[in-house]
Structure 1
């Protein structure tokens, strides 16, 4: 399944969409000359020149060094200005908090992380209060330069409390707590809230290396398992904003549960380790932990997770013929690579009749994917083209002045 190349329009009434298109292509390709942008967008050379000048004046673009040695005037490549915008991303997880400052091209300028037993509204707000000012100082950015604070967290945090040993009464506080409204009262920036798996998927799409494939499944193994779906080159959040919540998918013939979450989740490995050493089990969520200490349980869990993920992938392919599956998680790079190989070998053993085997690729952002994806929300919605949105809109809505 491949989408048509993105094209612009020379009508002056769609200038906003054309500017997004140019920014989108620059993000995908790194740098473009006027001639390259003209060819890719289908816009006139004059229209591209006007857009380049406007975006440069706004501070969104920087000029590169002229490329000489060709007939005519030297071409000047344009690229995104890393310092054009700064965003805060706050990931609220069942075992960890992560707070990052990200610039316009996805560089993490500063981060703060903490492991906790379980998240409550009180400790969620306390972590932000304790770390916000030091984080901005470390990133060398001011309050005024931040464009937004965006939150990534599991929806319905009060669910599945028994799976990660959290008290029901305290977790039920999330049922009536409006985190977005509370933060809007505390900070001077726009605040948005999104599903953590969808956010991690967005980080991979926007900040990861460009993929030729336009449709892919993104799987993220955290305390539980989640992820996202990319269709037509854009994140498809679904009606409730949580498409790609793969945890409830059924897994056949695997002792220990019928759901994917019962096998391909870090909390499963945590419980396996706790049976041997409770103190060791809690180190699983430290980003600098030595995972060689988790053997032999780690190898056992990787085999179990690989089999379960292979079944889930086949199920997903039976609905949409995704070209690629990206696998990421709160895992060291070496462990993530082992997991991808386990999934590959498990797919070798499954009946793939009726589906086309996808390419498997590792993700790129590991522990920080969800916080980075949260930070990227405005980049996605304000400075990129989402073909899924365009396909849903009517022409009179698209071509507003």
Structure 2
């Protein structure tokens, strides 16, 4: 019997204060997989039905089964013409995806990330010093946004004098993805995409003419055209927004749980369990969409070939049958099989090592040298599943003071 949803998970009002965990808790109680009816009359949401997978084991099963749940139509709720227009990591499956991933992952190994650690620590120190000097600052804008964007810029090799231009357009493009945000239009979004594509073309030409010891020089030798431009866009957006949200939501959780913050300070060194719990708690990737390539039964529901299927990662990360007391923030949680980087398999996030390192260094720097207190409430933004990182913290005023 088909389990059809009686709630619209695309309703932006559900996401005004973050992910609606209470809604998904009820859905998990009803069953692991639900058919979401088509939503008509919404220009930001495709008018097609889709299957929602909300429990950890079934998300993991489907996420790893790329032969049955294919990436060919992109990661959004419905097929995405821009993503599907050419070869990208987000629209390929093995063996084509394996080859492209091999080319790119050769520059994102743990060894490479480790070489960035000192540079990352130095950059983080400068950012925190500036934030502390300002008295009250916006942690999202002044810290959580700055760190990952500068790391991405270091990796790509973006010159310091053009970073503010790139950062501004990247931020505007993310905001333009929310159709309910005033001041933006589809034309604005397309214009920003075009500007960033053109910048990617210019920096590629510069790296080919004057090779440097950076990732973009090496990728420019192996990729070309749309593949390279789309990877620049994906790296700039996914590599900054997800880590920004994890850092911001993690800090909110730490300040709301002073016993956890006190324990973190007493240890100084940030263990893997701290980073994993921040990632589980924040679950910065909202969902991924796939297309079924054949008839399949998952979670007692019969999915037909051609159906759209959506994996809700924050719901999987609160699954009561996998995580003990899932709504408790616990920096010592172990085991912690979170799916902040996806459910494993061929599409496991390439930037996982880098994101973990960034979170570790930022929190380690704060624990060792700064006192942080909230100066106001965190303000949420986003319209839900209009894109994969459809909600986040817009601003979080804090006071950062250097420890004596």
TM-score, normalisation: structure 2:
0.29
- Answer 1 or 2: higher relative contact order, Cα 8 Å, separation at least 6: 2
TM-score, normalisation: structure 1:
0.29
Q: Which has the higher helix share?
A: 2
Q: Which has the higher strand share?
A: 1
Query: Which of the pair has more CA radius of gyration?
Result: 1
